[in-house]
């Protein structure tokens, strides 16, 4: 399965100014890509890594 086959959605944290991130989920993993530069590919994370990132972002740990 390639990233073109995935069901991409725009992040709810994207802005109206075009600062957009897209996310796609598959069994056991999630991928993230820049909406403006889709041709550059995506970052793929295993589900536990992605969950840890989301949890840290919600706690404003960065």
Q: 3-class SS at 43?
A: strand
CA 14 vs CA 1, 10, 20, 35, 46: distances in Å: 26, 7, 5, 10, 22
The reported pLDDT for the residue numbered 16 is 73
Supply the pTM of this predicted model: 0.74
Q: What is the mean pLDDT of the chain?
A: 86
Please give the helix or strand (H or E) that residue 24 lies within, else none.
strand 21-26
Nearest to 24 by CA among 40, 44, 39: 44
pLDDT for 17: 74
Residue ranges of the chain with per-residue pLDDT less than 50? none
- Res 45: pLDDT: 95
pLDDT of residue 4: 66
């Amino acid at each position: 399965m390639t990233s073109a086959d995935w069901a991409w959605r725009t992040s709810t944290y994207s802005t109206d100014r075009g600062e957009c991130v897209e996310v796609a989920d598959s069994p056991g993993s999630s991928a993230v890509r820049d909406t403006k530069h889709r041709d550059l590919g995506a970052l793929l994370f295993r589900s536990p890594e992605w969950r840890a990132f989301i949890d840290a972002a919600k706690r404003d740990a960065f």
